[in-house]
């Protein structure tokens, strides 16, 4: 799934990549270039947006795997976005990879 990561406290940081892994309190993406660790960032995909802290950026072949840790459960945050949409919006499933 295509996702975009954008620095909140570092506005010049932005990359488009692939959502790689999603868990209750974090996610990882594969991006073409390095992203600084320790910054607060937003990751958007589809109708969902999650804010958190970049906790790692590791070489992954010719790309980089970036890890974002969040304070609250991602599942609740993605459902909250659905609630903001039309009342008859279909449920969204988040695949486990």
Averaged in consecutive runs of 10 residues, what is the pLDDT profile of the chain (97 residues)?
93 93 90 96 91 96 96 61 44 45
Whole-number pLDDT of residue 75: 64
Whole-number pLDDT of residue 25: 86
Q: What domains are there in the chain, each with its CATH number?
A: 2-84 (2.40.10.220)
Q: How far apart are alpha carbons 84 and 81 in whole angstroms?
A: 5
> What would the two tokens of residue 90 be?
């279909």
Whole-number pLDDT of residue 94: 46
Strand partners, 57: 66
Asked if 39 contacts 72 with a C-beta cutoff of 8 angstroms, the reply is no
């Amino acid at each position: 799934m295509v996702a975009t990561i954008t620095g909140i406290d570092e506005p010049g940081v932005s990359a488009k990549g692939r959502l790689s892994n999603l868990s209750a309190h974090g996610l990882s993406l594969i991006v073409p270039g390095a992203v600084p660790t320790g910054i607060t960032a937003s990751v958007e995909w589809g109708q969902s947006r999650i804010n958190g802290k970049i906790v790692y950026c590791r070489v992954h072949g010719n790309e980089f795997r970036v890890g974002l840790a969040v304070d609250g459960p991602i599942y609740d945050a993605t459902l909250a976005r659905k609630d903001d949409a039309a009342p008859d919006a279909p449920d969204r499933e988040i695949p486990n990879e």
